[in-house]
Structure 1
Amino acid sequence: MKKVAFIYPGQGSQSIGMGQDIVKNYPLARDMFRKADDLLGVDLSEFMFQGPEESLTHTVHAQPALLLVSSAITEILKQENILPNVTAGHSLGEYSALVAAKAISFEDAIKLVHKRGQLMEEAFPKGKGKMAAVLGLQKDQLEEALAGIREKNGEIVELANINCPGQIVISGTSEGIELAINKLKEAGAKRVLPLNVSGPFHSSLMKPAASKLDNELSNVEINDAHVPIFANVTAAKVKSADSIKDLLVEQLYSPVRFEEIIEALVEEELDAIVEVGSGKVLSGLVKKIDRKQKTFQLQDKASIDSFVEWYKEGEEI
């Protein structure tokens, strides 16, 4: 039997039409989409299939939409008796990983990420916080430059997503990010690209949202995970329910240590790392970290069929 990791995308991987092919081809997916619409009291499927893009990009819609597609494909694979040996997710994707590992039910998770999206949007005044992707600087160079901005200008600007060598996302106040764009170019960054997000996610400015998320999580049944999850906050395996809860709270204001997570997954000597859900962002990051690592990206029937065929190759019938 092959050894695989399932990894799950986060916000930014949403696109119009996401999930439409699996709903068309799998009754199980159709039922899950219907259930999601009912649980949220929102026509989420309509935003996903038809748009407008502005509505789908809205954090409160993008987060449950991404979890829905990822969880539906995970269930399709489960019907084929294909289960992950280990899981991980990028930011929001960690919730999809927890559903796959049976730590949180799909029903609780989709309501939880909808609420998480609301809390993240409300945590900091709209337009006052930003994020930007920095290309071509190493982590230590970046930290040194940001420390200088904090000391000199008093603005908050911090590491948010450590994605792969030479690609790190920063987060902070709008003024802090604007100062950083100029400072980091002087420090040798190839490019600094402002991101189209509604707030300074994964920075200390999210602590008010984290406190409220802690209260929400107290009302959700969290179980010990059936398979290990590599947590965003620590880049280490977690299985216990108490640790999972604490780490989800910390995750909102801590950097996503994705590069370290992929390095740890490579050490697991897996047959493949499988990106489950919308987009191909994570597969691209994996290849930048270890180009020899076999990857799959599953978001429609054709890609699912191809993966299932590979997984079952050589099995006795």
Structure 2
Amino acid sequence: MGKSLYDEFSVARNVFDEVDDILGRKLSHLIFNGPIEKLTITENAQPAIMAVSIATLRVMKHVFGESLYSVQYVCGHSVGEYTALCAAGALTLESAVKLLKVRSEAMHEASLKCKGGMFALLGAEISEVEGILKSAQIDCEIANDNGGGQVVVSGTAEALEVLPDLFKNSSVKKMIKLQVSGPFHSSFMKPADEKLLEFLKSINITRPSIPFVSNVTAKEESDPEIIRALLAKQVVSRVRWREMVLYMTSHGTNKFVEVGPNKVLSNLVKRIDQSINTKSIGSISDADNFFNESLMLTAKNLKIKSL
């Protein structure tokens, strides 16, 4: 992923080269060539997703400029928060990469202390899952409230083994084991939370130039010290994606643009509210299509106004 951006645009090459320099290794080679099994290891996946997303965003700015759109909010899902904060100028690319290096390593270490994982439960709403887990009193917690009948849970290996029986009479239609190395976004990540918070003390965070919506609070946060604390707290807290989307729509947002590889977040947004207009931009052709459509719409609106 990201290879065409690297080959065609110097602004993208600069991003991948800087990430490689900061990490002291050729992550870009792994991003472009795989193997996928190595790329999806959390220490590689976290900075890789952020690098491709920022490279895509910088190519968009380089080609199309920054004046066509006024962005109401930036946000991300889990590791995507670092991309969002970098895009809004609250974190430099260097700071984001260094933070993700510490974050991923700390999460990996915490995972080794707790043999566990994550399951996506499809078909049930958050309140039902909360009630069942509370009644069962097992070592399992809600990690992501993704909305649209999708809830992700984290737990120990023993707890996850009993989930099929636990939810057999519930609204859950399907259970999918996620290909992750640990029970992320849960209290099992407490050692990572502490390590990340300590490292965050050395990182400069400025006020975002675009309003930032947090995974932890599901609302706008602008105070750099609050953001600092929330970035650490995020690794032990559920991602409140459904609430985040509803917060933004309640404040007038009706179009969401996902920048980076895949279309996961666009699909999640659509599951929450079909009326929301979503676009995914993972390549320069996606960006071309997006801006061509936007220019046509702008021209149409100008014509209507002139009548």
Scaled by the length of structure 1, the TM-score of the pair is 0.89
* SS of residue paired to 1:192: strand
Do residues 48 (structure 1) and 31 (structure 2) align? yes
Partner of 2:117: 130
Deviation at 1:222, TM superposition (A): 0.6
1:100 pairs with 2:90: no
For 1:89, what is the secondary structure of its paired residue? coil
Q: Kindly tell me the number of residue pairs found equivalent between the two proteins.
A: 295
C-alpha distance in 2 between matches for 1:167 and 1:185: 16
Task: Spell out, residue by residue over 1:178-199, the C-alpha distance to the aligned partner (whole angstroms, 9 max, x if none).
Answer: 1223201232311111111100
Task: Quickly say closer, same or farther: Cα 1:126–1:24, change in 2 above 3 A.
Answer: farther
Q: Distance in 1 between matches of 2:146 and 2:285?
A: 28
Alignment of 1:58-97 (within 5 A): 58-79=41-62, 80-82=65-67, 84-97=71-84
Whose relative contact order is higher, 1 or 2, with alpha carbons under 8 Å and at least 6 apart? 1
Show the counterpart of 1:262.
245
Distance 1:135 1:185 in 2: 12
Deviation of the 1:269 alpha carbon: 2.6
Identity %: 39
Give the whole-Å Cα distance in 2 for the aligned partners of 1:50 and 1:127.
Answer: 31
Deviations 1:17-40 (A, max 9, x none): x11121122110011111111110
Q: Which residue of 1 aligns with 2:127?
A: 140
Runs of 4+ that moved beyond 6 A:
none
Aligned-partner residue type, residue 97 of structure 2 = I
1:44-102 deviation line (CA, Å, top 9, x unaligned) = 11111111111100101100000001111222233311563210100000110100111
Deviations 1:101-147 (CA, angstroms, capped at 9, x unpaired): 11110111012112211100101326711110001111111111111
Between 19-28 and 104-113, report the one with greater CA deviation. Answer: 19-28
Contact 1:126 1:199 in 2 (8 A): no
Post-superposition offset of 1:217: 0.6
Q: Is the contact between residue 155 and residue 183 of structure 2 (CA under 8 Å) also seen in structure 1?
A: yes
Letter in 2 for 1:171: S
Letter in 1 for 2:108: E
How far did residue 148 of structure 1 move?
2.1
Aligned-partner Cα distance in 2 for 1:270–1:233: 20
Residue of structure 2 equivalent to 1:303: 286
Correspondence 1:197-276 to 2 at 5 A: 197-270=180-253, 272-276=255-259
Q: Could you say what the CA RMSD is over the residues aligned between the two structures, in angstroms?
A: 1.6
User: Does the 8 Å contact 1:25/1:301 carry over to 2?
Assistant: no
Structure-2 change in CA distance of 1:52 and 1:126 (3 Å): farther
Relative to structure 1, the CA distance from residue 127 to residue 211 in structure 2 (aligned partners, 3 Å threshold; closer, same or farther) is: closer
Output the CA distance in 2 between the equivalents of 1:302 and 1:77.
11
Match of 2:270 among 277, 287, 308: 287
- The answer (yes or no) to whether the contact 2:111–2:181 under 8 Å persists in 1 is no
Q: Specify the SS of the correspondent of 1:132.
A: strand
In the alignment, the residues of structure 1 paired with residue 40 and residue 78 of structure 2 have an alpha-carbon distance, to the nearest angstrom, of: 16
CA contact (8 A) 2:148 2:268 kept: no
Cα distance in 1 for partners of 2:53, 2:29 equals 17
Equivalence for 2:305: none
User: What is the distance in 1 between the residues matched to 2:294 and 2:246?
Assistant: 23
Distance in 1, matches of 2:247 and 2:177, equals 29
Consecutive unaligned residues of structure 2, counting only runs of 5 or more, are: 303-307
* TM superposition shift of 1:271: 5.3
Q: Greater helix percent: which structure?
A: 2
Please tell me whether the aligned partners of residues 146 and 180 of structure 1 are also in contact (alpha carbons under 8 angstroms): no
> Contact 1:66–1:277 at 8 Å: present in 2 too?
yes
SS in structure 2 opposite 1:163? strand
Q: Which runs of 5+ in 1 are unaligned?
A: 1-17
Distance (whole Å) between structure 1 residues aligned to residue 207 and residue 122 of structure 2: 38
